[in-house]
């Protein structure tokens, strides 16, 4: 199964629209998938699930088990202040170490209102995922000016659609 991760906890984030689109692409190819949305993280996880509290927050551990029990992941990553959201880094920091993500496949999609489309964000996240031992796909679509390419929860750019389809095919290839 492929886990699609919304890399922000911001309400009304465009990342959720992209994640839903990605899930439809997976379903069209017969690929089982699950959405993991960081908006559903426990509000207190920074204080109750990290460092000396690692593994002690059962609500957070549900998220950990989803990651540990699957082998393919898609990170939908908005760019905040020139990098990926802090909540995503904190989430990763709350996972077991050494990482149970080592050897697993990761795809990333950058999402931004600006012209770089989240390129910096996915570059930084690539470094983190490599450190954890994940196999990061080299195809990393960056969806610039995303607000101009969405209408009624759909992607209107044929180029963005093609890039995402190519990435999905590479992600699920055996």
pLDDT in tens, 31-82: 999 999 999 999 999 999 999 999 999 999 999 999 999 999 999 999 999 9
Which of 3.10.20.440, 3.30.1330.100, 3.40.50.360, 3.40.1390.10 would CATH assign to domain 2-172? 3.40.50.360
Q: Are 107 and 71 in contact (CB under 8 A)?
A: no
What pLDDT does 98 receive?
A: 87
- Domains in the chain: boundaries: 2-172
d(CA 93, CA 46): 9
What pLDDT does 68 receive?
A: 93
% of the chain at pLDDT higher than 70: 100
With bands split at pLDDT 50, 70 and 90, how would you rate the model's confidence at 89? Answer: very high
Contacts 24+ apart (CB under 8 A), 13-19: 13/39, 13/78, 14/78, 14/111, 14/146, 14/147, 14/150, 15/76, 15/77, 15/78, 15/111, 16/76, 17/150, 17/153, 17/155, 18/76, 18/109, 18/111, 18/143, 18/146, 18/155, 19/74, 19/76
What pLDDT does 174 receive?
A: 79
3-state secondary structure at position 110: strand
Two tokens, residue 138: 């080299």
* Interval 100-158: pLDDT, tens: 999 999 999 999 999 999 999 999 999 999 999 999 999 999 999 999 999 998 999 99
């Amino acid at each position: 199964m492929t886990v699609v991760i919304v890399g922000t906890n911001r309400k009304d984030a465009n990342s959720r629209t992209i994640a839903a689109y990605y899930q439809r692409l997976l379903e069209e190819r017969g690929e089982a998938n699950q959405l993991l949305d960081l908006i559903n993280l426990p509000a207190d996880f920074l204080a109750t699930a990290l460092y000396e509290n690692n593994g002690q927050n059962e609500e957070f551990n549900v998220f950990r088990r989803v990651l540990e029990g699957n082998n393919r992941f898609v990170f939908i990553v908005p760019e905040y202040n020139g990098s990926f959201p802090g909540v995503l880094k904190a989430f990763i920091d709350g996972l077991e170490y050494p990482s149970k993500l080592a050897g697993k496949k990761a795809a990333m999609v950058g999402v931004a209102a600006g012209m770089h489309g989240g390129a910096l964000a996915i570059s930084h996240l690539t470094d983190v995922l490599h450190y954890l031992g994940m196999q990061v796909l080299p195809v990393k679509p960056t969806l610039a000016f995303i607000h101009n390419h969405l209408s009624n929860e759909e992607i209107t750019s044929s180029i963005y659609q093609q890039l995402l389809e190519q990435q999905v095919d590479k992600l699920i290839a055996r």
